[in-house]
Amino acid sequence: MPNDIATQTGIGARVKRKEDFRFLTGRGTYTDDINRPGQTYAYILRSPHAAADIVKIDASKAKAAPGVVAVFTGADYEKGGLPAGWQIHSKDGSPMIEPPHFPLCKDKVRHVGDQVALVCAETYAQARDAAELIEVDYKETTPIVNVGDADKAGAPQVWPEAKNNVCYDWHLGDKAATDAAFAKAAHVTKIDLVNQRLIPNAMEPRAAIGDFDRATGEFTLYTTSQNPHVIRLLMGAFVLQIPEAKLRVVAPDVGGGFGSKIFHYAEEALVTWAAGKIERPVKWTAERSESFLTDAHGRDHVSHAELALDKDGKFLGLRVSTKANMGAYLSTFAPCIPTYLYATLLAGVYTTPAIYCEVKALFTHTAVVDAYRGAGRPECTYLLERLVEKAARETGMDRVEIRRKNFIPVNAFPYQTPVALQYDSGDYFSTLDMALKMSDWAGFEKRKADAKARGKLRGIGISTYIEACGIAPSAVVGSLGARAGLYECGSIRVHPTGSVTVFTGSHSHGQGHETTFAQLVSEGLGISIENVEVSHGDTNKVPFGMGTYGSRSLAVGGSALVKAMDKVIAKSKKIAAHLLEASVADIEFKDGKFTVVGTDKSKTLGEIALAAYVPHNYPITELEPGLEETAFYDPLNFTFPGGTHVCEVEVDPETGVVQVVNFTAADDIGRVINPMIVEGQVHGGVAQGIGQALLEGAAYDAESGQLLTGSYMDYCMPRADNVPNIQVGNHATMCTHNPLGSKGVGEVGAIGSPPAVINAVLDALLPLGVKDITMPATPYKVWQAIQSAKKAAE
């Protein structure tokens, strides 16, 4: 039996996802599926202007409209603003500018979609109709939209306290050493890059229901969140001043997040606050249009980078200067994304000895920008891999060899980079070789010739990447400005008859935790997977949690479960020793049984659980009854997944259409629990990376600040025909500092893929003389690039 568990449902088995039955049959319970007795519906009136003074709001007609229970504006809101969870200090030591962020605008609106008024009514239609009756007198001002222009003299100012719109002006690395490296360089490669703004587009739009119990004074918030405990902490402590004991936050089934559901949003605070005011539940569900306008966006960097090389192609130094768009306010984790999740990765997989990076974070009249799948690391990887590729082209070195030559050697781990991080393990040579083999790199020239015969330009591109995830050691991030610890909590409850409920702070919103964690616990405790249920997402059930982001669930949340299981096993051994009349030291736990070493006397976990809950024969003076253990796990370091992605494209020179024809991802993600889920994560991440490289891009009108890509007509998401069959390879080196050896897989696809795709497009266009292309490489842009190159060649 136990061996069956290990092979069929344990660690390493391709167990079909337990949660998919309810998802695929439409039986999931999402926030919008929840309805509370006496519920009202909320509609949020949003600013149609990017920048304006609110001169006057007259809500009297709306208040008198049919079905309206209450109308609230900024003047009614007396509680706190939404906090930023991370504080960055500028070069000069001054703290970042942290403007107030009230859930309802008080005197100004600062982006299209900003919250101006909240209407609560008996039906959603009544709330919406009433909102139309609110008369807002705006005095428009000129907005600033593009991050590249935001700090220029004369640019419109978003906040008076943020001079030149600068939130912070930060740096990392050794400037003098980097300058010295450039001084002795044989070659310097320079590049200017834009990492375009993306809109996350989770399948389920955000939703929130606030509920207030008049009898107990307890608030409940149902919300589409990746981390309900974090929301309880932020909203309870900082925004609404509700003690944790009086605030329950439930994040039920959540249909995708990709980072956009980490943050504490205004709507969550508003429905909870309003529920207390009107003493009735308040339900808000975003329309897709609202999601486009108000979900935290991702990326939006403008960068200049320079790489110094010696005559043999060894990297000597790297210099990077980046402007990062924060949007109009600071979202929960926005400040740390372009700093400690970006610049700290600039060593990449290379031995570059001197690195210096400056980052200016700027406010603009646009939606907030925060973590989106990869969060800082895709921006870093794109910059590095475009730069390295360009260096290879300029120096005439082979694109693969220049990478191999600069890889951190396998025997150099733990490896201290010049930008703060220490990589614990890795083997970039093996993932490179694996990717080259799987993608048949050597056979490319023939495929290229075949494509040419068909009138197509074929290109191949490579990206060798690393990321830091398993976020994060609390002491380290605390010293860098984090205002929270980033451990995780897990709890194992063994029920009297031996079934187990696992409580985890790692929320699952598509990742398959209910299966992965069940596999982990099933094997760890030697019980069948059917006897393990995983519970997450409710602060009244799970003791605590820091949530799901930064590819941390298995490395951090899984490690907490391992620690909790260790405690369960330790206690069970004591119980077994008592029942079997043996010394604890002689009890061995193996294959799901507690056995007296050298005998056939043993007890199963079920028998021990029954004894623990029915303690008739029990060491009651030494042990408490019951069998339930909780553990917190705070990682000792980040984890460092890495690998090689190879992309092959065909470009139609007549139309500029790029088709991704092959994609290979060879990753080192440490120990794998469920290879099928891992492949799914890589597939999804690569699809999003292809989306960024070829299709997606948020556009604001520079003059008016209106969001031009506000629907699926103008914001192009990847579809089935944009994504090829993806080959996934895995070469694991174990993480050295967590009990599972796992590194994390949620973001690798989105991090490694965009530069591989663009490098492939540029490789295809190389014969035509095209040297650069910006993401997304749409047919229009590719065609334009081809025409310009042709003209230049004439």
Pick between residue 51 and residue 732 the one whose CB is nearest to other proteins: 51
Q: Select from 15, 18, 30, 49 the one that contacts other proteins (CB under 8 A).
A: 49
| Smallest distance from other proteins to CB 717, Å | 15
Least CB distance to other proteins at residue 485 (A) = 39
Q: Is 708 in the site for other proteins (CB under 8 A)?
A: yes
Q: Site for other proteins (CB under 8 A): which residue of 96, 131, 275, 764?
A: 131
For the CB of residue 206, give the shortest distance to other proteins in the complex, in Å: 17
Region from 251-259, 523-531, 609-617, 707-715 binding other proteins, contact rule CB under 8 A: 707-715
- Least distance in angstroms from the C-beta of 480 to other proteins: 37
CA pair distance 328, 771, nearest whole angstrom: 34
Quick note: the x/- pattern for other proteins over 642-681, rule CB under 8 A, is ----------------------------------------
Write down the least CB distance from residue 704 to other proteins, Å: 5
Contacts with other proteins: how many residues (CB under 8 A)? 19
Least separation in angstroms between residue 706's CB and other proteins is 4
Cβ density class 714-749: b for 16+ within 10 Å, e for less: ebbebeeebbbebbbbbbbbebebbbbbbbbbbbbb
Smallest gap from residue 117 Cβ to other proteins (A) = 13
**Binds other proteins (CB under 8 A): choice among 4, 20, 714, 772:** 714
Does 141 contact other proteins by CB under 8 A? no
- Interaction residues for other proteins, span 491-530 (CB under 8 A): none
- Backbone torsions φ then ψ of 727, nearest 5 degrees: -90, 130
Q: Which is nearer to other proteins, 366 or 595 (CB)?
A: 366
Query: Residues with Cβ < 8 Å from 161, sequence gap 6 or more?
Result: 97, 99
Q: Which is nearer to other proteins, 135 or 398 (CB)?
A: 135
Strands, E, within 142-181: which ranges?
A: 166-173
Q: In this complex, which beta carbon is closest to other proteins, that of residue 94 or of residue 123?
A: 123
Residues 83-112 that bind other proteins (CB under 8 A): 112
End-to-end CA distance of the chain: give it in Å, rounded.
74
Distance CA 533, CA 508 (A): 13
Token output for 229: 């405990």
- Should residue 41 be labelled a site residue for other proteins when binding is judged by CB under 8 A? no
Say how far apart CA 687 and CA 684 lie, in whole Å: 5
Q: Which is nearer to other proteins, 201 or 272 (CB)?
A: 201
Q: How far is the CB of 125 from other proteins (least distance, A)?
A: 12
- Cβ atoms within 10 A of the Cβ of 567, count? 15
Q: How far is the CB of 703 from other proteins (least distance, A)?
A: 7
CA distances (Å), origin 737, targets 320, 409, 425, 732: 31, 20, 10, 15
Nearby residues of 265 by Cβ (< 8 Å), 6 or more positions away? 82, 206, 208, 294
- Interface residue with other proteins among 63, 79, 128, 541 (CB under 8 A) is 128
Out of 499, 706, 736, 774, the residue judged to bind other proteins by CB under 8 A:
706
Using CB under 8 A as the binding rule, whether residue 779 contacts other proteins is answered as: no
C-alpha span between 67 and 203 (Å, rounded):
31
Stretch near other proteins under the rule CB under 8 A, chosen from 575-583, 624-632, 643-651, 702-710 = 702-710
Q: What is the rounded distance in angstroms from the CA atom of residue 23 to the CA atom of residue 417?
A: 43
Stretch that binds other proteins, among 128-136, 576-584, 677-685, 772-780 (CB under 8 A): 128-136
Rank residues 376 and 776 by Cβ distance to other proteins and give the closer one.
776
Q: How far is the CB of 291 from other proteins (least distance, A)?
A: 11
* Nearest CA among 150, 135, 126 for reference residue 67: 126
Distance CA 493, CA 490 (A): 10
Q: In whole angstroms, what is the distance from residue 370 CA to residue 333 CA?
A: 6
CB of 146 to other proteins, least distance (A): 17
Nearest to 569 by CA among 525, 623, 601: 525
Handedness of CA 556, 204, 682, 18 (dihedral sign): positive
- Decide if 676 contacts 763 (C-beta within 8 A): no
Q: Which is nearer to other proteins, 215 or 713 (CB)?
A: 713
Residue 284 parent element (H or E):
strand 282-285
- For 287, half-sphere exposure in the C-beta direction (CA atoms, 13 angstrom radius) is 14
**Of the residues 2, 12, 28, 48, which one makes contact with other proteins according to CB under 8 A:** 48
Q: Applying CB under 8 A, does 710 fall inside the site for other proteins?
A: yes
Q: Which of residues 320-359 bind other proteins (CB under 8 A)?
A: none
Q: How far is CA 760 from CA 189, 302, 663, in A?
A: 19, 22, 11
Nearest to other proteins of 44, 274 (CB atom): 44
Whether 270 contacts 44, CB under 8 Å = yes
Contact assessment for residue 199 and residue 515, using Cβ atoms and an 8 Å cutoff: no
Looking at 62-70, 442-450, 476-484, 704-712, which segment touches other proteins (CB under 8 A)?
704-712
Partner residues linked to 707 by β-bridges: 700
Residue 161's Cβ-count burial label (10 Å; 0-12, 13-18, 19+) is exposed
Give the integer Cα–Cα distance in Å for 590 and 577: 15
Among 701, 767, 787, 792, binds other proteins (CB under 8 A): 701
CB of 630 to other proteins, least distance (A): 47
Piece of the chain touching other proteins by CB under 8 A; list 171-179, 453-461, 626-634, 700-708: 700-708
Which is nearer to other proteins, 137 or 591 (by Cβ)? 137
Report d(CA 265, CA 103) in Å as an integer: 8
Q: Which residue in 142, 599, 711, 787 binds other proteins (CB under 8 A)?
A: 711
DSSP 542-610: SS----S-TT-IIIIIIHHHHHHHHHHHHHHHHHHHHHTT--GGGEEEETTEEEETTSS-EEEHHHHHH
Q: Cα–Cα distance between 66 and 72 in angstroms, integer?
A: 16
Q: How far is the CB of 707 from other proteins (least distance, A)?
A: 5
Nearer to other proteins, 47 or 511 (CB): 47
Q: Find the shortest distance in angstroms from Cβ 712 to other proteins.
A: 9
Query: Whose Cβ is closer to other proteins: residue 709's or residue 727's?
Result: 709
Nearest distance, CB of residue 261 and other proteins, angstroms: 21
Whether the bond into 414 is cis, omega within 30 of 0: yes
Among 4, 20, 33, 132, binds other proteins (CB under 8 A): 132
Between residues 701 and 772, which has the closer beta carbon with respect to other proteins?
A: 701
Of residues 15 and 112, the one with the C-beta less far from other proteins: 112
Binding mask 274-313 for other proteins (x = CB under 8 A): ---------------x--xx--------------------
For residues 791 and 794, give the distance between their C-alpha atoms in angstroms, rounded to a whole number: 5
What's the half-sphere exposure (Cβ side, CA atoms, 13 Å) at 631? 19
Binding region for other proteins (CB under 8 A) = 48-49, 112, 128, 131-132, 289, 292-293, 701, 703-704, 706-708, 710-711, 713-714
